[in-house]
Structure 1
Amino acid sequence: MGIEASFEIEITPADAVLPGTGRFDFTKEWSGAAAGTSSGVMLSAGDPASGTAGYVALETFDGVLDGRSGTLAFQQFGRMESGAQELRYEIVPGSGTGELADVGGTLALAIDDDGVHHVTFSLR
């Protein structure tokens, strides 16, 4: 069984770093089995309005995960083609500190109709 958490996100557009791309800075407030804060940067390209685009994101988490405290980095690779979406969301290997130093695994993301982001961690 996975570890359940949710987060609220605040996204702020920022200056693009490459031609033809978008950049967004974000912060998250986590609750549930992952309690704490994270912040990150997202880069995107393509045409989301037409259902074809992609993004990458890197974020750092500071808090408690499944009763252990420390920091971790998460990486995301998302793509949308003809409206079909895919997402890889992982803990960056070697990024943990404190009691999270040896933690690895993946995250599964689901967004409900009210916009609440639910995450299930599969730790190893």
Structure 2
Amino acid sequence: MTRATFEIEITPNETPLLPGVGRFDFQKVWEGDMQGRSVGLMLSAGDPASGTAGYVCMEVFEGTVDGKLGTLAFQQLGTMDGGNQGLRYIIVPGSGTGELEGAIGVLNLTVDEGTGEHSILLEMSSDH
């Protein structure tokens, strides 16, 4: 299993998209078994302040995973409702390049409540 942490910088994008939909651009720096950078786009709706909202994300990572060099795309689907949270965070099938070609898998994300540190445990395999 691959373990990594990342720091994220999120920037609201003021470009109008749809009424009630927020757009955010982000950048991540990855450390640990994943070394590199990623950029992405997040769309969100609902009322996060009240604990009811959802978001979708597309992200492209460039760097190494367990020493293998290439790129991967990640897809996220997150929801929160009444204190219940759901998250699906996967490698987009067919998105791998270089030594990461054919990679498939799931990322399990945790956020340390005290420090705010984001860490993942990646379960990855190859589809060929």
TM-score, normalised with respect to structure 2: 0.94
Question: 1:19: how far off?
Answer: 1.1
User: Which residue matches 2:78?
Assistant: 78
Unmatched tracts of structure 2, length 5 or more? none
2:108 matched to which residue of 1?
108
| One-letter amino acid matched to 2:4 | A
How many residue pairs match? The answer is 123
Mapped to 1, the partners of 2:93 and 2:39 lie a distance apart of: 18
Q: How far apart in 2 are the matches of 1:30 and 1:97?
A: 18
Partner of 1:117: 118
Provide the residue aligned with 1:3 in structure 2: 2
Q: Distance in 2 between matches of 1:102 and 1:43?
A: 27
Question: How far is the alpha carbon of 1:59 from its aligned partner?
Answer: 0.4
2:49 matches 1:62: no
Per-residue CA deviations over 1:54-91 (Å, capped at 9, x if unaligned) read 00000000000011000000000000011211100000
Q: Give the secondary-structure state (helix, strand or coil) at the position aligned to 1:55.
A: strand
Structure 1 CA distance, aligned partners of 2:108 and 2:96? 19
Partner of 1:51: 51
Aligned-pair identity in percent equals: 59
Give the secondary-structure state (helix, strand or coil) at the position aligned to 1:17: coil
Q: How does 1:23-38 map to 2 (within 5 A)?
A: 23-38=23-38
For 1:39, the equivalent position in structure 2 comes to 39
How far apart in 1 are the matches of 2:49 and 2:9? Answer: 21
Structure 1 length as normaliser, TM-score?
A: 0.97
Cα separation, 2, equivalents of 1:77 and 1:99: 26
Q: Which amino acid aligns with 1:53?
A: A
Given residue 123 of structure 1, which amino acid in structure 2 is its aligned partner?
A: M
Residue 121 of structure 1 deviates from its aligned partner by: 0.1
Q: How many Å separate the matches in 2 of 1:18 and 1:75?
A: 21
